[in-house]
Each structure stands twice: as C-alpha cells, then as structure tokens.
C-alpha cells in the first residue's frame, strides 16, 4: 500500500479490517475497527483536503483505537484521489467527498448492520460532514474539529488566517536557520509565495464551481442531530467561525456545543492538545451512546 496506518499499539481484543467499496466507478479503501463490546452505531472519520485516513499527525488512528476500546465501531477511509483510493486527486471536490461519505454509510448499514452513525470531520472534513449529514438517515451526531465557515462570509476568517501566516513567515526571517537554508538553496521560496498568495489554502481548496450549488445553510438546518465543535484557542479562524456557527445554530433552533482547546493551533499540534481533543470527543459521545447489555 502507498499509505500506512501507523504503528500505534492496539488491544488483541479488537479487530481491524481493511475493505474496499465502490462509488461512481472508483474503488475506495476503508479501515474498520471492530470492538468486542458494543455501543450503538459507528464513528466515521472524514479527513481534511490534503490528508488521508490517518488524520493529522495520526489523530484519527489514535482516536479510533481509543474509541474501539470503549465499545465504538469506527471506520476511517480515503476519499477519492487520496491515500489508497482510486481517482484523480485534482478532480476531488467537496461534492465528491460528500458522495463518498454517503457511499461508505451505505456499506456500514448493509455490511455491518449499523443503525446509527456519528461523523467526525477535521477541517475540510467538517464541511463534508455538514454537507453529508442530512443525506444519510443513520447520522445522529457530528463532531467537527476546526470547521471552516460554510453558508456564510469567510472573509474575516480568511484575513485572520492570512495575517497569521504572514506574521509566522516574518518571524522566521530573524532565525539563523532560515538564512542558512536561503544561502544553501534549501529554502522553498516558491512554496512560501504560494502559501501567502493562497492565504494558507492547499491546492484545490479555493473551491469548485459544483460546490457553489450546495445550499449549506439549508443542509445545516436540515440536520436535526447534535453537533460538537472543537477549535484551537490560537486558531486565527476560530473567533469568526464560532460566531457563525453559534448564529446558525440559533437560527435552526438547535443547541450549540463548542469546546475551545486553550493555546492550541488549527491542527492541535501537541500531545496535550490532541489528547484534549480526543478525550473531549469521546466523553461527549459516551454520554450519548451507552454500552449495550451483553
């Protein structure tokens, strides 16, 4: 396989199963973690735009293996054109990612008899979760890590992100290692230029025309299950995103559940931050899905 699932330890009392499923003529790879003791439903992880099924710094793997110990079945998969799934990586859109999510949910109901699903999305995967949730009858809950704004004005969040990136690069100008890389030709000026021009967006994240047809506000309001938003306190896009989703939740007459990881960046890049995200997510799920009696 081109991509791996890491080497993190897992209990011998649980099973891990790789399987392929078809969607729109492409074969997609998924990994199911199956517990011996069960809670109702399954957790489905949705990776971000440039990622694959392991999630950022293997957070999906870590949470999946923690979750299965607590009785949750979990599924991680690669969207089309990502990881070990077939497809043109440059043809991937939020619309195709939503379609892939609907397809894997159908597999879970048919292959494993799953009756309830919780979607866990990271960054762009959170957008996919919001777009897919009302299309899948079995979805009852969403956990959204660093969710970008959908169905609203992104300009404030994008300006904050671009300003943050500019500040980061300016601070690096005064570091000895930066000048050493410049003098030895190892500094990727082209990548810096692209990052500043795109405001931190990866290639393709600017949005596809087909995605503009999605009525995000309607999708948000149509989903009547619960949502948990988790953001880093030092994520420059957090303030605008939290205000936006709090307003959307109020308009939809739905509760707004949000947790801020103090000091964390957008991707939760520290062991303490990722632990807080995983533990908060699990605690929230465990309150809603009690263990089934055996």
Helix, coil or strand: residue 23: strand
d(CA 133, CA 44): 11
Please list the residues that pair with 34 across neighbouring strands.
15
The CB-side HSE value for 2 (13 A sphere, CA atoms) comes to: 10
Domain residue ranges in the chain? 15-151+215-288
Determine the distance from the C-alpha atom of residue 21 to the mean position of all C-alpha atoms in its chain, rounded to a whole number.
Answer: 20
- Torsion-angle region of residue 261: left (phi > 0), alpha (psi -120 to 50) or beta? beta
CATH number of 15-151+215-288: 3.40.50.1820
Written as tens digits, the pLDDT of the chain (294 aa) is 455 665 433 444 568 899 999 999 999 999 999 998 888 889 999 999 889 999 999 999 999 999 999 999 999 999 999 999 999 998 999 999 999 999 999 999 999 999 999 999 999 999 999 999 999 999 999 999 999 999 875 555 455 444 434 444 344 455 566 445 556 665 444 544 544 454 444 444 456 788 888 999 999 999 999 999 999 999 999 999 999 999 999 999 999 999 999 999 999 999 999 999 999 999 999 999 988 765
Distance CA 279, CA 152 (A): 30
Instruction: Tell me the C-alpha distance between 60 and 66, whole Å.
Output: 10
Dist CA 102 CA 17 (whole Å): 20
Q: Write down the pLDDT at residue 206.
A: 53
Using CA atoms, how far apart are residues 236 and 224, in angstroms rounded to an integer? 29
pLDDT of residue 40: 85
Q: What is the pTM assigned to this prediction? A: 0.82
């Amino acid at each position: 396989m081109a991509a791996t699932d890491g080497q993190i330890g897992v209990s011998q009392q649980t099973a891990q199963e790789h399987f392929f499923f078809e969607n729109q003529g492409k074969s997609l790879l998924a990994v199911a973690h199956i517990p011996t003791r069960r809670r109702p439903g399954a957790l489905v992880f949705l990776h971000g735009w440039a990622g694959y099924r392991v999630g950022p710094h293997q957070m999906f793997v870590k949470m999946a293996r923690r979750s299965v110990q607590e009785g949750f079945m979990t599924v991680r998969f690669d969207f089309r054109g990502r990881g070990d799934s077939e497809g043109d990586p440059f043809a991937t859109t939020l619309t195709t990612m939503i379609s892939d999510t609907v397809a894997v949910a159908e597999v879970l109901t048919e292959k494993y008899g799953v009756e309830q699903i919780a979607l866990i999305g990271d960054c762009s995967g959170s957008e996919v979760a919001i777009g897919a949730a009302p299309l899948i009858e079995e979805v009852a809950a969403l956990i959204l890590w660093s969710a970008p704004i959908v169905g609203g004005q992104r300009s404030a969040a994008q300006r904050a992100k671009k300003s943050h990136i500019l500040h980061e690069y300016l601070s690096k100008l005064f570091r000895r290692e930066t000048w050493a890389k410049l003098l030895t030709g190892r500094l990727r000026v082209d990548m810096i230029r692209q990052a500043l021009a795109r405001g931190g967006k990866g290639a393709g994240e600017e949005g596809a025309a087909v995605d503009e047809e999605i009525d995000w506000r309607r999708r948000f309001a149509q989903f009547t299950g619960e949502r948990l938003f988790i953001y880093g306190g030092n994520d420059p896009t957090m303030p605008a995103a939290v205000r936006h989703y709090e307003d959307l939740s109020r308009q939809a007459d739905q509760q707004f559940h949000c947790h801020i990881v103090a000091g964390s960046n957008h991707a939760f890049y520290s062991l303490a931050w990722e632990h807080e995200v995983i533990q908060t997510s699990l605690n929230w799920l465990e309150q809603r899905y009690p263990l089934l009696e055996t």
